[in-house]
Amino acid sequence: MGRSPHQNTPAARADRSIVNQAMKCLDIIHLSNRDYTTLSGGERQKVHFARVLAQIWHPVEEGSRLLMLDEPTSALDITFQHHCLKTLVDFARQQGIAIMAVLHDLNAAALYADRIAIMHAGHLVVSGSPAEVMTQKNINDFFLFSAQVTPHPQYPECPLIIPTRSDKKLEHSH
């Protein structure tokens, strides 16, 4: 599925190799002979990761490569969430690919993103580096969520969002 956009191109001859490389990159070769319908939700998500990597594996002659992902780590255990995000970031940096992902896990976004944008009520309200965007005020104002924001102990330039108890009532205005 990941190589179907390239069926009638010179790259089509390399499809099997590209698919295998993408599967190795995500450590899912063991799923290669399984029927998709027999896979668990997490296994399917892993296959989709490999599929999108295979789609953008090689540079294109015209234009840039952009990978847009909506909640790519849903249905994945925490180990594979971080493995996939790190793999995507490394791949993007090596290949010069832009990735735009919607993540609701604020700590994962802060840890892996170069830039973060917060949308509220359908509008962009703030964007910048994780440290600029992931502030206690922004978390409280836009997510209606009480949290302490502190530097990550291993990556001090990266904010760490720690939930705190709050009596603040959620308003479903967004």
Copy the structure tokens of residue 33.
């002979």
Answer yes or no: do 9 and 83 share one domain.
yes
| CB distance 85 to 26 below 8 Å | no
pLDDT at 7: 62
Answer yes or no: do 97 and 124 share one domain.
no
The parent domain of residue 127 ranges over 114-174
Taken in order 155, 156, 157, 158, is the CA torsion positive or negative? positive
Instruction: Report d(CA 46, CA 19) in Å as an integer.
Output: 13
Instruction: Report d(CA 143, CA 121) in Å as an integer.
Output: 11
pLDDT at 76: 86
HSE-CB at 138 with a 13 A cutoff on CA atoms is 20
| 46: CATH | 3.40.50.300
Number of domain units in the chain:
2
φ and ψ at residue 115, rounded to 5 degrees: -135, 145
Answer yes or no: do 72 and 152 share one domain.
no
Copy the structure tokens of residue 106.
């604020």
158: helix, strand or coil: coil
Asked whether residue 107 is assigned to any structural domain, the reply reads: no
Answer yes or no: do 79 and 137 share one domain.
no
Answer yes or no: do 119 and 73 share one domain.
no
Answer yes or no: do 92 and 129 share one domain.
no
pLDDT in tens, the chain (174 residues): 555 555 666 656 677 788 888 899 888 999 988 998 999 988 888 888 888 888 888 877 777 888 899 998 887 899 989 999 999 999 999 988 999 999 999 999 999 999 999 998 899 999 999 999 999 999 999 988 889 999 999 999 999 999 987 655 555 544
pLDDT at 174: 45
